[in-house]
Structure 1
Amino acid sequence: MPERPMQQPHLADSIDVVEEALSEVVLSRIPSTSPFHQPRQLTEAERERFRKMSRDSREARRSALAGEGPAPLHEINRPNFNPIDLMPQRQAEGKTALSLFSGGGGLDLGVERAGFEHSASFEIMSEAGDTLRKARSNWNVFSGEDGDVRKVDFRKWRGDIDLLHGGPPCQPFSNAGRQRGHLDERDMWPQFVRAVKEIRPAAFIGENVPALASPKFSQYVSENIIAPLAGSYHIQQVTLQASEFGVPQVRKRVFFVGFRLKRMANAWVQPAPTHYWGEPSLNGAEQRCMGLREALGLPGLGFDDLSPTIRSSLTGPRHTTSILNSVAAQRKFESLQVWPNGVAADRPSARAFVAKNGHFRLSVPDVALIQGFPEDWPFVGATYMALGQIGNAVPPPLAYAVASSVMDVLEK
C-alpha cells in the first residue's frame, strides 16, 4: 500500500496561527523619545506584571516622599570626587570642533575643556539637546528633527572645523544588545564617515563600545570605517579604561583617531594613564583612582571598589531607573552596599526613599559623578531620560584625555 503523502497545512490555517500568535503581543503604552529604544514583545499578562511592579514602586516612592515610609537610614552624601579637577581648562587659539551624536555632552564637555571652541552639536533626542543648551547657552545645538545627521549637508562647515568628534549609537555592537552590526537600522557609522568626508577636518575622533574592536566586528571596522577614509586620513585605534583617567568606574571605550596629514598622525601619542586602581606599578600612573564609596563621600566599610559599568536606561527593552547591566554588577553593588535600582531624581529624595535592603540609594547627581560629569551639569528630562543620557555618554575626563592628545598635535 503506497505511503500516504503528508498533508500540507492550508495557507489560511497558517495565517490564522500567525495572527493568533501576534494577537497575544501587546504594544507598550509608554511613549519614548529615544530612537534607540526597542520595546519588548510581551503579552498582556506579562505587561500587567510590569505595570504592577511600576505601580507598587510609584506608591512606595510617593509614600516615602510624603514622610509615610520607613525612617531614613543615611545622611545626604557630600561627594569627595570633583571631575573638573581631572580636566584643567586648556587655552587654544581658534581650534574649532563640531559634535555628532552629542547625547548629554560627555564628548562635548571633554573637548571644550581641552581647548576647542564649539561650532555645533547634532543630537536627535530633544531632551539631550535641551541639556546641552541649558549647560552652555552659547552653544549652537541642533536637536530633534534638526539634529538628525542623516538629513544634514555638512559641506557648509568645510574648511572651518579642526576636529570632528562623535560616538555613533553603540547598540548595533554592544554585548548587551543583539550585535547586528550593519544590519541594525541604528548603525550610524556610515553617517559619521560621510560627515568626515564632507567637512574634511584636520582630525576626527570616533568613539564606541569596546565590542566594536573585537574580532567579531573586525571586518565591519575595516570595510565601514577604515577603508572609506584611508585615502584621506591616517587612522589609529585605541581602547582606553575610564578608571585609568580618574573616573571611579569600570568602563572601556574604543576610539578611532584620524589625522588628515601624515606628519600629524606620526606625532600623535595615545593618552597615557594618569590614575591607577590596585597596584600602581601596573600602568605607570602615580595617582590613585577613587573607589565608588570614597568618590560619593559614603562612610567607609573597610574596603572599596570601582563602580560597575553604568548602563543606559534608554537602550534596553523597557525604560527603567536602574543602572544595572549584569548579575555580576548586582553582586558588586551589593558588596559595596549601594542600591542601583530605582535611582532617585535628587539626593534628598534618595535619602527619603529607603531601599528594602537598607543600602544607600543612588541619585541622578551621584550617577552623573560616577560617569565623570561635574555636579552642575544640568540633565534635562524625567529620571529615566537623565540616566539614559548619562549611561550613553563618554566619561568627560576620558574624552578630555583623547581630545587633549589631539590638541597637542594640532597646536604644533
Structure 2
Amino acid sequence: MPTKQSVYKNSSRREYDISNEKRDEYRKISTESRLAKQAAVQGLHKPLHKVNQPNLDPNTLMPQLENNGIRALSLFSGGGGLDLGFDRAGFHHVASYELIPICKHTLNSNRPNWEVHGGPDDGDVTNIDWKQYIGLVDVVQGGPPCQPFSIAGEQKGLDDERNMWGEFNRAVNTIKPRAFVAENVMGLLNPKFQDFVKKYIIDELADYHIVKFEVHASDFGVPQIRRRVFFVGFRNPSDLAKFELPEPTHYKGHLLSKKSSHDLFSANKPKTMGVREALGLSNIGFDNLAPTIRSGFTGKRNTTSVLNSSAGQKSWGDMGIWPNGVQSSRQKASEFPAKNKHFRLSISDVGIIQGFPEDWQFSGAVYQVLGQIGNSVAPPVAYHVAKNVAKALS
C-alpha cells in the first residue's frame, strides 16, 4: 500500500526526465516567453486580438434537472467534472473526497453547501472508514487516477503507486450502493491491461452487474477530441436491464463530407462547434475540435500549456490558436501576443473547451487550474451518464 505522502506527491507532479539539449531548448523558450510576458505587463504590446465573447455556454449542454433524491458519493473528485455533471442531472450530493488540496477550494467555492474532504489529511481515501456511509449512499462515482493507464503516465498499471482502483472497490464493496460509476482513460482498454480489468475491477466488484463503454466528449457538444471509458455497475440485474448507453446529442459536422443516411440521422441534432466558433473567434475558413487537453499536473512542472503532442501542436496551429502560456484571464491573454499572431487562450477558454461553464470557477494558480481541468471528466459527458443511471434506478 503506497503512503499518502507518496501518492500525494505523484498525483500532483512527477519527475520530468529529459536530455540536456531538450532542457536547454525549454529554458530558451521559457526565457523568451518570460520576457514577452514582462513586456505585456508593462503595456509595451498592442493587443492583436480583441477580448473574445464565447458562443458556447456548456450549461446549455446539461440543463439543470430537478432533484431526483438519488444520493451520490464522489471519490477522486478533482476539479469537479463528475460532481458537476451529477449535480446538474439532479443527484443529491453526499460528500466529495480529493487528495489535492486546491481542488477542495474549487469545490467549496462553487458549492458551499457541499461536504468536501480534501488534502492528505482529510481527503486521502486510503484512510477512510466507509462504513459511515452504509445506507446513506445510492451511487458511488469517481475517476480513479488515470496515470497508471495513460501513455503520459507510462502505463505501469498495477505497479504504479497511483493506482487507486483497489480503494474505489473497497468503498463500493463496503458501502454497497445500488450502483457505481467509474471513469478512466482509453488506455485501460489496452490489451496489456485485459487481465487487470478482469482481476482487479470485474472480479473484485463481483456483487455488481457491470457494463463498460466508450464515450466521445464531442458527441455531447464538447468541442474537443476526448475519448474515455466508463464502468457502470448495478447490484440489481433488473436495474442494469433498464440502463441505456448515453446516445449522442450532437454530430461532428466536419466529419460529414458526403450525403448519407448518417447525415439524415444527424440532421435532427445540433452540430458540435469547433474551437474557434465555441470561443467566439473570427472565421478564418478553418475550424476543428481541440486536441485532447492535457493536465497541468503531469509532465513539465508548473506548466501553463494544454499541448498533448506534436500532432496537437499542428492542429492548434491550423486553427490559429496558441496552446502554450495560457493566461489567467481573457484580458491578460489579449495583452500577451503569441507567436505567429495566433490567439492566446485563457483558463476560461480552456474550461469551455472541456465543457465547464464559466460560472464554475477554479481556484489556484494557472497551472493548478489547468491541472484540474485536464484531469476532469467533461461535465456534459458525466451529466448524460448520470441521467441514464438515474432512469435505471427509478
TM-score by length of 2: 0.92
| Other structure's SS at 1:275 match | coil
What is the letter of the counterpart of residue 380 of structure 1? S
Structure 1 residue 36: Cα displacement: 4.0
Alpha carbons 1:172, 1:178 under 8 Å: kept: yes
Equivalent of residue 183 in structure 2, options 172, 185, 207: 207
Aligned Cα root-mean-square deviation (Å) = 1.8
Gaps of 5+ in 1: 1-31
What CA deviation, in whole Å up to 9, does each residue of 1:58-117 have, x standing for no partner?
A: 232121022023x11111000000000011111134211000000000000000011101
Q: Are 2:368 and 1:392 aligned?
A: no
Q: Say yes or no: does 1:138 pair with 2:113.
A: yes
Q: Does 1:252 align with 2:227?
A: yes
For the residue of structure 1 that corresponds to 2:232, the secondary structure is: strand
* CA gap 1:281/1:102 in 2 versus in 1, 3 angstroms: farther
Q: Which amino acid aligns with 2:225?
A: V
* Cα separation, 2, equivalents of 1:384 and 1:336: 23
2:119 maps to amino acid? G
Deviations 1:309-360 (A, max 9, x none): 1000111143311101111111111100000011111100000000121000
Which residue does the alignment assign to 1:219? Answer: 195
Matched, 1:326 2:302: no
Structure of greater Rg: 1
Partner of 1:253, secondary structure, is strand
Please name the residue that 2:3 is paired with: none
Counterpart selection for 1:237 from 208, 212, 224? 212
Structure 1 position 43, deviation (Å): 8.1
Q: Deviations over 1:133-165 (max 9, x none)?
A: 001101100000210111111111011111110
Q: For residue 41 of structure 1, report the CA deviation from its aligned partner.
A: 4.0
State yes or no: 1:100 paired with 2:75.
yes
Identity %: 51
C-alpha distance in structure 2 between counterparts of 1:289 and 1:115, whole Å: 24
Secondary structure of the equivalent of 1:288? coil
1:165 to 141, 156, 160: 141
**What's the counterpart of residue 359 of structure 2?**
376
Cα pair distance change 1:304/1:124, threshold 3 Å: same
Q: Measure the CA separation in 1 of the matches of 2:347 and 2:197.
A: 34
* Contact 1:268/1:409 (8 A) holds in 2: yes
Residue equivalent to 2:55 = 80
In structure 1, what is the Cα distance between the partners aligned to 2:161 and 2:10?
14
What are the Cα deviations for residues 246-296 of structure 1, in whole angstroms up to 9, with x where unaligned?
A: 101000010000001010011111100110103385494422111110000
Q: CA deviation at 1:304?
A: 1.4
- Structure 1, residues 224-255: CA drift from partner, whole Å, max 9, x if none? 0000112x110000001000011010000100
The question of whether the paired residues in 2 share the 8 Å contact of 1:34 and 1:314 is answered with no
* Mapped partners of 2:145, 2:157: distance in 1: 11
- In the superposition, the TM-score normalised over structure 1's length comes to 0.88
* Distance apart, 1:52 and its partner CA: 5.3
**2:164 matches 1:188:** yes
Work out the number of aligned pairs and report it: 378
SS in 2 for 1:228: coil
- Does 209-218 or 74-83 show the bigger shift? 209-218
The separation in 2 between residues aligned to 1:356 and 1:51, in whole angstroms, is 17
Measure how far apart 1:55 and its partner are: 4.1
- Which residue of the other structure, out of 69, 90, 94, is the alignment partner of 1:119? 94
Q: 1-side partners of 2:234 and 2:390: how far apart?
A: 12
Contact 1:100 1:123 in 2 (8 A): yes
Q: Quick one: distance in 1 between partners of 2:32 and 2:95?
A: 43
Give the Å deviation of 1:211: 1.1
Candidates 275, 279, 298, aligned match of 1:296:
279
Q: Secondary structure at the match of 2:214?
A: strand
Tell me, in whole angstroms, the C-alpha distance in 1 between the residues paired with 2:36 and 2:130: 49
